[in-house]
Amino acid sequence: MKVGIIGSGSISEYHLRAFQSVPDVEVAAITSIALEQAKDVASRFGIPKVYESSEALLADNEIDAVSVAVWNASHAELSIAALNAGKHVFCEKPMARNAAEAAGMVAAEKKSGKLLMIGLVRRFDLKSDAALNVVRSGALGDIYYMKAAYLRRDGQPGGWFTDKSRSGGGALIDIGIHSLDLALYLADAGAVRSVRGTTFQLPDIMKGVKGTEKYLSKEADGLRDVEDMVTANLFFENGAVLNLEASWAQHLKEDSQNLELFGTKGGLKVDPELSLSWNNGSYPADTSYNIHSSLNGEKFLDEIFSREMSHFRDCVVDAVPCIAPSSDGLNLMKIIDAVYLSAEENREVLIG
């Protein structure tokens, strides 16, 4: 399978390394609006072709699939163009800036007969596999409450991430989507009926503070018209509730991710460590699973992306059912849209 990469930023390099680690996959071409950067990436990764435009890359009949790794505002346009050109598409999360754009992508996928897979990378963590097995075993019983949080102390990225016209939103659509997606994926609690959300756009509380460059965008600037923090409750048709929090910058001791699922028979803590709590007869019992998360460090991140791209290859070449389909990406965008609308209008929003 020959792959073309659209984009030359940091996420595209994760995609590149991952694709190059998968047997029978060749990264054959790259393009970017930052052409010199694309040439540099091609030189470092041994990519034979550098195209001056996405149109030129998509016209290459040798390319079977493309990776869309650009800012969110271009996800829909480029994915639809690639599908119309007869290419399979791997699109980085979020699927788009909003549900309307995502719906257009799903329609293009159906019309093309090609695959559109969304980069819901946490589904490919080995710890997520183990957690899913616990849930499917019935150990939790009926899940009625979930808590999911992705919080940073000094993670305001700036650049296009904080420009709503290019990103679609802030901390929720950037990092909160990871925790939201994994909670939905593991719990499989069915449809979300409504949401109630609140967003906070904070002053630049980390400006001038040393050591805050970790998450800074390569093109960081002063434009900031998106939320820094969001909190939301999601109410499911079956009565379950999910409490979600996401923040780029809070006065925390350290960055943290937390995901917990509570059921009638047991509770499962997924982050930061995987553990199961239940009643063993007359006594409370706990089981810890010694499974390292793929989110800890560059080596583990490369491993999780490699599993993701290996699955994409298997879906395209061997017709394996996709576990990160466009329909799930669209569902996430509907929920995110509803959270933003709820925050804007200060009311509960039904999801149609």
Q: Are 33 and 11 in contact (CB under 8 A)?
A: no
Calpha distance 87→170 (Å, rounded): 30
**Residue 186 CA neighbour count, 13 Å, CB half:** 40
pLDDT at 51 (0 to 100): 99
pLDDT at 153 (0 to 100): 87
Q: Which domains occur in the chain, in start order?
A: 2-121+305-324 (3.40.50.720), 123-297+331-350 (3.30.360.10)
pLDDT at 309 (0 to 100): 99
Calpha distance 145→108 (Å, rounded): 36
- Tens digits of residue pLDDT in 20-65: 999 999 999 999 999 999 999 999 999 999 999 999 999 999 999 9
pLDDT at 158 (0 to 100): 83
pLDDT at 156 (0 to 100): 82
**Cβ neighbours of 175 (radius 10 Å):** 21
Instruction: State residue 19 phi and psi, 5-degree precision.
Output: -60, -40
pLDDT at 273 (0 to 100): 87
* Contacts (Cβ under 8 Å, ≥6 apart) of 140: 134, 261, 262, 263, 264, 265, 266, 267, 268
- Give me the residues of the chain with pLDDT under 70, please: 204-222, 292-299
User: 86 - beta bridge partners?
Assistant: none
- Helix (H) / strand (E) element for 155: namely none
pTM (two decimals): 0.93
Task: Tell me which residue of 258, 249, 253 sits closest to 147, measured CA to CA.
Answer: 258
Q: Which two tokens stand for residue 170?
A: 């802030």
Per DSSP bridges, beta strands 283-288 and 349-350 are unpaired
pLDDT at 75 (0 to 100): 99
pLDDT at 214 (0 to 100): 53
**Cβ neighbours of 71 (radius 10 Å):** 22
pLDDT at 160 (0 to 100): 86
pLDDT at 295 (0 to 100): 57
DSSP3 helix / strand / coil % (the chain, rounded to 5): 40, 25, 35
Task: Spell out the SS3 assignment of 226-268.
Answer: CCCEEEEEEEECCCCEEEEEEECCCCCCCCEEEEEEEECCEEE
Task: Tell me which residue of 160, 161, 159, 158 sits closest to 172, measured CA to CA.
Answer: 161
pLDDT at 128 (0 to 100): 96
Calpha distance 133→130 (Å, rounded): 5
